[in-house]
Chain A
Amino acid sequence: MKIAVLQFPGTNCEFETLVAVKAVGMDGEIFRWNRSAGELSGFDGFVIPGGFSYQDRLRAGVIASKEPVMSALKEEAGQGKPILGICNGFQILVETGLLPGSGKCGDRGSDRGSEKGTGKVDMALAQNVMVSSGKIVRRGYYCDWINLRHEASSKRCSGSFSIERGALLKIPIAHGEGNLVTATPGLIKKLNEEEQVVFRYCDRNGRVINEFPVNVNGSTESIAAICNEQGNVLGMMPHPERAFFAWQLPAFDPRKQRPDEPGPGRKVFESMKRYIEVNA
């Protein structure tokens, strides 16, 4: 079971992501963006880690989305192989059209890049806008420990395959562009109805409050992660690899004192492994 952790110029979370992949018992290696894209077919799953690919030039994720490796990755996704995009990886998947990847909602937007093997772009991860009591209280880059509520049923999505609906995960975020917006009519309704909303930002008790600081970036309906229709592609703004071990948790979390315990982010990587085992 071999996982490719993709590395673009400016990616900066590839090594800890690879540690997480290996720690759950999968094999893996860092796959540089300029390797022959055809080599991707030798892998069972893929992670696009966080960072600032191409220095976020133009807008986060868009330059990487035009690389040949992403066209090849779309073909791998079509075969049902799991893909996990974390933070900048999520942004790349959105700009590639792999997420939400439906192409069924409305007809706005052009079929951008389709000749390059990428799909229609149905949404954007825009600049953070933090709103509280109807006022904008903050904008831009933000990092903190946040709570996530798992919205989909288990087995719906490769990256949350082993997580029960309603489970809460404490995982950190660190981004400036995670505000999910869309001009595609009916897209949010469809994502909700088809359980493509995988995680939402919530408070410590699991309540979704669509205001800062619970909704940390102004994302529509507090959406933190979505999957494609088939469920094999997951994009999430929070960083599970940064909460993989209990010792990575913040000082105020009592689990930090039990460093041998797994951290909450481990479940995402365990899910990917389980998904591959079940679908092999």
Chain B
Amino acid sequence: MSQKINLRVWLKIPDAEAATVKNTLIRRLGFGRVLADVRKERLFSIEVDSGEPQELAKSFARELVNENKESHIVLIDELKFEEGYVPVKVALHIEDGEAISTRERLRSRLGFENVVDVKKATVWKLYFKTLKPEAEAVAREIAEKLLINPHKDSFEILS
């Protein structure tokens, strides 16, 4: 039976890309009234068909996470987020070359033959001054106006 190992990875150091997105949303796109902060995570969803998932997750983290600058948590067969922000998952809907390369690296170069599939996404954590459901509606608007190009990306509100 296959299992899905989710690695949520984020920078311990300041995230310049998240800061730029926040700045653009507030200063250029007029979301300053409702938006408080923007943070970002990388998300790897690795499907395996055998092996002990927690041990595998540690091995994958050694390859995919740079502990000098990044933190991570592991979630097996689930994907949940903390309260206090709206998580917006952005992924390519066209072929994701990086995800394929990661899968091939894990399978062929690093010997994890039990890896079936790898999916990669960015999770934007949008902190709002307003409450749900308005926050989720604004998150959707932000995704459409900035976070995605619909010709290659898709998004999903995860909360």
B28 adjacent to A66 (CB under 8 Å): yes
A108 contacts B by Cβ under 8 Å: yes
A32 contacts B by Cβ under 8 Å: no
List CB contacts (< 8 Å) of A131-151 with chain B.
136, 139-140
- Bin chain A's interface residue count: 20 to 34
Shortest distance between the CB of B143 and any CB in chain A (Å): 10
**From B19, which residue of chain A is reached at the shortest CB distance?**
A57
A229–B159 Cα distance when bound, in Å, is: 42
List CB contacts (< 8 Å) of B4-48 with chain A.
16-17, 20-21, 24, 28-29
For the residues of A in contact with B, the DSSP-based class is: loop
B147 adjacent to A58 (CB under 8 Å): yes
List CB contacts (< 8 Å) of A90-133 with chain B.
95, 108-110, 112-113, 116, 121-124, 126-127, 129
Q: Tally A-B pairs: CB < 8 A.
A: 71
Per-residue CB proximity of A50-85 to B under 8 Å, as 1/0?
A: 000011011100110011100000000000000000
- Bin chain B's interface residue count: 20 to 34
Shortest distance between the CB of A66 and any CB in chain B (Å): 4
The residue in B29, B97, B100, B147 that gathers the most chain A C-beta atoms within 10 A of its C-beta is B97
Residues in chain A within 8 A of chain B (CB atoms): 54-55, 57-59, 62-63, 66-68, 95, 108-110, 112-113, 116, 121-124, 126-127, 129, 136, 139-140, 181-184
Residues in chain B within 8 A of chain A (CB atoms): 16-17, 20-21, 24, 28-29, 92, 94-95, 97-98, 100-101, 144-147, 149-153
